[in-house]
Chain A
């Protein structure tokens, strides 16, 4: 003989207990996804921000290096039959291509107007897209996961996460740590930091600027290639894959501060979380008010917009970015 309110309360208690756990595990999983995506973006943005900061070069073709990394990995993995071996070879190949591009094309662009950079590197995008089509054909490629990575790992009780994605997180963090060590603790890193804050001075001090620039560009290319090959098994290996993600990399570079690795790291994680959590939760949020299709269509759009909004806000409030590298 319970009152209606008491009955309702009792039912709520049961339901509350039951559906809190899946909601929590889903949230943790989404956070991990956001972290993974953010770290991948960091790898891409790190190279971009370095090149931008040190050589003052706007390189739109950075996405092409990302694409090449994926294609190389797919090819070498198929040749050698080993995923890891293929990945290592691909890294080396992308590094070489990056350095070659720097010597042949980029060198002539230093000191020129940013508009010239944009145009020239836009032309390079077209060139690389076609080159890939010529060599590998129009159909794209696939990079299958080795079976030892194609399982799930119990990260927390009730939370099963893909082993491969976990390995992406681990590898990216390792690379980030390596970059930190390189930039902060080695002579090369010191030169890089100096170059980012005052280019002319470094040249005046007698450092072999040409070699430094080639190395930095190569490093950026290798990072982009790593990002490309790591996402290949779970996302895609196709022509033009660089264009979509390049924009995000630029946004991250601007938010973080041009020339700053630390800034790129923070901004990338931020963007990764906003994008992933936005896409996941906006859909549900919108579904309260709209139809399923409208929600499904609008959610990714909204979360993408958020990222650009963030960049616009940062540019208006703090135009040099969150962690500006250069000091004038």
Chain B
């Protein structure tokens, strides 16, 4: 008897939970990684999202906003579970976040089937831009290939003739290396994909790169792995011998740990914290004020944009989120002030944007910061837009 009663009362507890009336408030689900060494990224995204909500007085279109944060633990199956929970149990109106491409790929179907709008503020696997594009999925980041493609252009500009590519063996890693290969005009003398995320020892790959004697090495290792890679790059004696070109390996989060190792190593990015538009100045200044000791990264900037994107759609539809087509159209308009300056979507809901060259330098206070050096490409579109059925 007790067993049954216990089960029944537990069930009641669960049922009483999220009983929202239609659109009295906006409910947003947020999926990121808040545990493990990459928690710094999730925290930066959350901080930026919260800052955006502060800036809009925690109201979108007059309705109060509630955010449910969930941790995907860096695992696709957990991310999917949490996505399902947000949709079915918390009944969210929007889902935001997703650092990792594999987590996004595992979770997408749930959102699309439930017709819940999903805004990825980081992950950009080519499937989302191409064959699996959906009216319900939007991106405020990029498609994975775009940033390394820009790097490839830059490497051409610098006259690099041969390159060795190293990256992690998962959805994004493959996209990244493929992106460089698609624009780099020189010869790729070698390519290594490492086990992700377990393998943090790159000595074998670095040794192979050394043996091939390329003009340059291109590398993609987000988060902690980026710190490890640069450290081992120095340890293997390659620093100063073979120049390094990166994407997503050096950012505001890893830079404080990489320190001198990152100086002089170029990276490409669609946002650097010194972009000279008003929205960005406000974002960075207020972030530094609200979170002393921390600096916003591109992960955060993209998430800040996602918050404003959603707010613009809520305002445009007057909070009437049940009209999915109207919400979709409002989102597609992207009528908000982005920290990137001008922001517009392509037909596949991926942004069309500039990519800049960033360099790591020491400012006058001795802090390590990133600086915009040049614009590599303007109004860049991803190369999978033709595979998307939405026109």
Q: A and B: direct contact (Cβ < 8 Å)?
A: yes
Give Cα A297 to B173, complex, Å: 12
Query: Given that A29-B207, A150-B234, A293-B193 are contacting pairs, would A140 and B200 also be in contact in the complex, using a CB cutoff of 8 Å?
Result: no
Taking a contact as CB atoms closer than 8 A, the residue among A23, A30, A292, A297 that contacts B191 in the complex is A292
- Residue B82, interface by CB 8 Å: no
Known: A139-B43, A140-B35. 18 other contacts (CB 8 A): A25-B207, A26-B208, A29-B207, A33-B201, A33-B203, A138-B34, A138-B35, A139-B35, A139-B39, A150-B231, A150-B234, A162-B236, A235-B200, A236-B37, A236-B224, A238-B36, A293-B174, A296-B194
- Residue B228, interface by CB 8 Å: yes
Which chain A residues border B232 with CB–CB below 8 Å?
162
**Which A residues are closer than 8 A to B by beta carbons?**
19, 22-23, 25-26, 29-30, 33, 133, 137-140, 142, 144-145, 150-152, 160, 162-165, 234-239, 244, 279-280, 283, 292-293, 296-297, 300
Which chain B residues border A300 with CB–CB below 8 Å?
195, 198-199
Taking a contact as CB atoms closer than 8 A, the residue among B39, B169, B234 that contacts A293 in the complex is B169
Is the Cβ of B169 less than 8 Å from the Cβ of A139? no
Give Cα A293 to B165, complex, Å: 13
Is the Cβ of A140 less than 8 Å from the Cβ of B204? no
- How many A-B pairs have beta carbons closer than 8 Å: the answer is 92
Which chain B residues border A163 with CB–CB below 8 Å?
235
Is the Cβ of A139 less than 8 Å from the Cβ of B37? yes
Closest to A133 in B: B35
Give Cα A279 to B194, complex, Å: 10
Is the Cβ of A142 less than 8 Å from the Cβ of B204? no
Which chain B residues border A138 with CB–CB below 8 Å?
34-36, 39, 71
Taking a contact as CB atoms closer than 8 A, the residue among A23, A140, A234 that contacts B36 in the complex is A140
CB distance from B299 to the nearest CB of A (A): 15
Q: Which of B35, B228, B235, B257 has the most CB of A within 10 A?
A: B235
Q: Which of A29, A163, A244 has the most CB of B within 10 A?
A: A29
Interface residues as binary, B29-73 with A (CB distance below 8 Å gives 1, 0 otherwise): 000001111011001000000000000000000000000000100
- Residue B211, interface by CB 8 Å: yes
Which chain A residues border B198 with CB–CB below 8 Å?
244, 300
Taking a contact as CB atoms closer than 8 A, the residue among B71, B200, B207, B235 that contacts A26 in the complex is B207
7 smallest beta-carbon distances between A and B, as pairs: A22-B211, A139-B39, A296-B193, A138-B35, A140-B37, A296-B169, A300-B195
CB distance from A224 to the nearest CB of B (A): 19
Which chain A residues border B37 with CB–CB below 8 Å?
139-140, 142, 236-238
Is the Cβ of B237 less than 8 Å from the Cβ of A152? yes
- Residue B227, interface by CB 8 Å: yes
Give Cα A296 to B171, complex, Å: 13
Taking a contact as CB atoms closer than 8 A, the residue among A151, A152, A234 that contacts B200 in the complex is A234
Which chain B residues border A19 with CB–CB below 8 Å?
211
Is the Cβ of B201 less than 8 Å from the Cβ of A234? yes
Is the Cβ of B39 less than 8 Å from the Cβ of A236? no
Give Cα A145 to B207, complex, Å: 21
CB distance from B17 to the nearest CB of A (A): 23
CB distance from B172 to the nearest CB of A (A): 13
Give Cα A279 to B169, complex, Å: 13
Give Cα A145 to B261, complex, Å: 13
Is the Cβ of B169 less than 8 Å from the Cβ of A160? no
Is the Cβ of A139 less than 8 Å from the Cβ of B40? yes
Give Cα A70 to B182, complex, Å: 42
Is the Cβ of B211 less than 8 Å from the Cβ of A26? yes
Is the Cβ of A29 less than 8 Å from the Cβ of B234? no
Closest to A33 in B: B203
Is the Cβ of A239 less than 8 Å from the Cβ of B234? no
CB distance from B72 to the nearest CB of A (A): 12
Closest to B225 in A: A236
Which chain A residues border B231 with CB–CB below 8 Å?
145, 150
CB distance from B201 to the nearest CB of A (A): 6
Closest to B198 in A: A244
Is the Cβ of A162 less than 8 Å from the Cβ of B207? no
Query: Given that A138-B36, A162-B235 are contacting pairs, would A30 and B204 also be in contact in the complex, using a CB cutoff of 8 Å?
Result: yes
Is the Cβ of A139 less than 8 Å from the Cβ of B204? no
Interface residues of B in 191-249 (CB under 8 A from A): 191-195, 198-201, 203-204, 207-208, 210-211, 224, 227-228, 231-232, 234-237
CB distance from B192 to the nearest CB of A (A): 8
Which chain A residues border B43 with CB–CB below 8 Å?
139
**Residue contacts A-B, CB under 8 angstroms, 21 given:** A22-B210, A22-B211, A26-B204, A29-B204, A30-B204, A33-B203, A137-B39, A139-B34, A139-B37, A139-B39, A139-B40, A139-B43, A140-B37, A162-B203, A237-B37, A238-B35, A279-B204, A283-B192, A293-B174, A296-B193, A300-B198
Give Cα A239 to B38, complex, Å: 12
Which chain B residues border A165 with CB–CB below 8 Å?
203
Is the Cβ of B169 less than 8 Å from the Cβ of A151? no
Is the Cβ of A150 less than 8 Å from the Cβ of B235? yes
Closest to B74 in A: A238
Give Cα A264 to B309, complex, Å: 58
Is the Cβ of A239 less than 8 Å from the Cβ of B193? no
Give Cα A33 to B235, complex, Å: 14
CB distance from A303 to the nearest CB of B (A): 10
Give Cα A23 to B195, complex, Å: 22
Closest to A149 in B: B235
Taking a contact as CB atoms closer than 8 A, the residue among A133, A234, A237, A279 that contacts B195 in the complex is A279
Which chain B residues border A280 with CB–CB below 8 Å?
204
Q: Which of B192, B199, B207, B236 has the most CB of A within 10 A?
A: B207
CB distance from B167 to the nearest CB of A (A): 10
Give Cα A22 to B204, complex, Å: 12
